[in-house]
């Protein structure tokens, strides 16, 4: 075998390995549909998505996941309200303001926060925050939207912070120098020049942070309370989609309609986060900075 042929074979073997991520994504979709689609023989897609009654163990059962979808969005939105300012501002702090020594310490701290297992945060929410909240605000339960959103925010902060930070670093030095030369102060340069230039990266960071929050399981499973109703106040319990899947899969009889309904919930969750990721990918490529020549 000539050396050239051998090289081509090796290259194509590596191509096969590189395709594995795509193959796995395909398999995930395939198996979610295989186990999820049978539910649509007893309930229409519309009734499944927008039905407000989730009573899979009643006779007859009701499979409407609207309250679960609302639950997911509510905790994600409240988590973002906390996490976006914290994440972006801390990124600005690391990239532009912190003295070198503090930066050396603070960056790993944010990374450690990213590495904290979610079950540990969930445990903290259950054992510490919930009783405290219940007593302080005189609530029927401390396992509610506020508690879950706060912990989800902690999980989203590292994602938002580190990706925003990369975006801030990639702003060309000339921009800063030009701004200073015009007499702008440091803060004016940050707010009017650096942040706008990094906006596509910061947007990507926010979208990915939200994707992380909406797909997070253990925190909402342990801390969101689990009520399957449309919430009326921020101190109500909710049952986001991942919590519903995790809590009920163990009890759902194998290949019952309940089991299929949970897989179908997984389909909704999967495509929701896939959408978030594709939007993030689009934003980061469409508005990508390619050096100072682009402006």
Partner 1 sequence: MKWRYLKQQLFLVAVRISALIIAVAIGGFLVYIFVNGIGAISWEFLTQPPRDSMTKGGIMPAILGTFYLTAGAIIIALPLGVASAIYLSEYAKGGVVIRVIRIGVNCLAGVPSIVFGLFGLGLFVVFLHFGSCILSGALTLGILILPTIIGASEEALKGVPQTFREASLGLGVSKWQTILRTVLPNALPGILTGSILGVGRAAGETAPIMFTAAAFFTAKLPTSIFDEVMALPYHVYVLATAGTHIEETRPIQYGTVLVLVALVLGVDLIAIIMRSYIRKNKGW
- Site residues for partner 1, 224-253, by CB under 8 A, read 242, 245-246, 249-250
* Nearest to 162, CA basis, from 116, 80, 76, 95: 95
Q: Does 34 bind partner 1 (CB under 8 A)?
A: yes
Check residue 112 for interaction with partner 1 (CB under 8 A).
Answer: yes
Residue of 56, 64, 71, 122 that binds partner 1 (CB under 8 A): 122
Contacts by residues 225-233 (CB-CB < 8 Å, ≥ 24 positions apart): 225/141, 225/143, 225/144, 225/148, 226/143, 228/54, 228/55, 228/67, 228/68, 229/67, 230/52, 230/66, 230/67, 230/70, 231/70, 231/71, 231/74, 231/145
Give the number of C-alpha atoms closer than 13 A to the C-alpha of residue 266, restricted to the C-beta side.
22
Give the range of 39-47, 171-179, 227-235, 265-273 binding partner 1 by CB under 8 A.
265-273
Residue 63 host element (H or E):
strand 62-63
Residue 2 interacts with partner 1 (CB under 8 A): yes or no: no
**Is residue 81 at the binding interface for partner 1, with CB under 8 A as the rule?**
no
Number of residues near partner 1 (by CB under 8 A): 86
Positions in 42-71 near partner 1 (CB under 8 A): none
Verify binding: residue 35, partner 1, rule CB under 8 A.
Answer: yes
Under a CB-based contact definition with an 8 Å cutoff, are residues 252 and 56 in contact? yes
Q: How, if at all, do strands 54-55 and 62-63 pair?
A: antiparallel
Q: Residue 141 interacts with partner 1 (CB under 8 A)?
A: no
Q: Which of 42, 49, 98, 139 binds partner 1 (CB under 8 A)?
A: 98
Give the shortest CB-60-to-partner 1 separation in angstroms: 25
Q: Which of 198, 206, 224, 262 binds partner 1 (CB under 8 A)?
A: 262
Using CB under 8 A as the binding rule, the residues of this chain from 145 to 174 that contact partner 1 are: 154, 157, 161
């Amino acid at each position: 075998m000539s050396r050239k042929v051998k090289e081509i074979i090796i290259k194509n073997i590596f191509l096969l390995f590189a395709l594995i991520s795509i193959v796995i994504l395909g398999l995930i979709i395939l198996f979610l549909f295989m186990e999820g689609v049978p539910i649509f023989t007893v309930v229409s897609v519309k009734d499944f998505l927008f039905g407000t009654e989730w009573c899979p163990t009643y006779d007859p059962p009701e499979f409407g996941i609207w309250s679960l979808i609302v639950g997911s969005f509510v905790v994600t939105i409240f988590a973002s309200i906390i996490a976006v300012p914290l994440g972006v501002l801390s990124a600005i702090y690391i990239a532009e303001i912190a003295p070198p020594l503090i930066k050396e310490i603070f960056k790993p701290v944010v990374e450690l926060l990213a590495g904290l297992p979610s079950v540990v945060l969930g445990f903290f929410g259950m054992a510490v925050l919930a009783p405290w909240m219940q007593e302080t605000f005189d609530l029927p339960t401390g396992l509610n939207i506020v508690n879950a959103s706060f912990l989800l925010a902690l999980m989203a902060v590292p994602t938002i912070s580190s990706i925003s930070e990369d975006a801030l670093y990639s702003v060309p030095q000339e921009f800063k120098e030009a701004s200073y030369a015009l007499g702008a102060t440091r803060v004016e340069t940050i707010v009017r020049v650096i942040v706008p230039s990094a906006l596509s990266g910061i947007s990507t960071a926010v979208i990915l942070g939200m994707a992380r929050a909406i797909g997070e399981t253990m925190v909402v499973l342990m801390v969101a309370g689990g009520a399957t109703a449309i919430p009326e106040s921020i101190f109500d319990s909710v049952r986001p989609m991942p919590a519903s899947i995790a809590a009920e899969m163990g009890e759902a009889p194998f290949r019952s309609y309940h089991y299929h309904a949970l897989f179908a919930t997984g389909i909704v969750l999967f495509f929701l986060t896939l959408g978030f990721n594709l939007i993030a990918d689009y934003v980061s490529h469409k508005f990508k900075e390619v050096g100072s020549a682009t402006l």
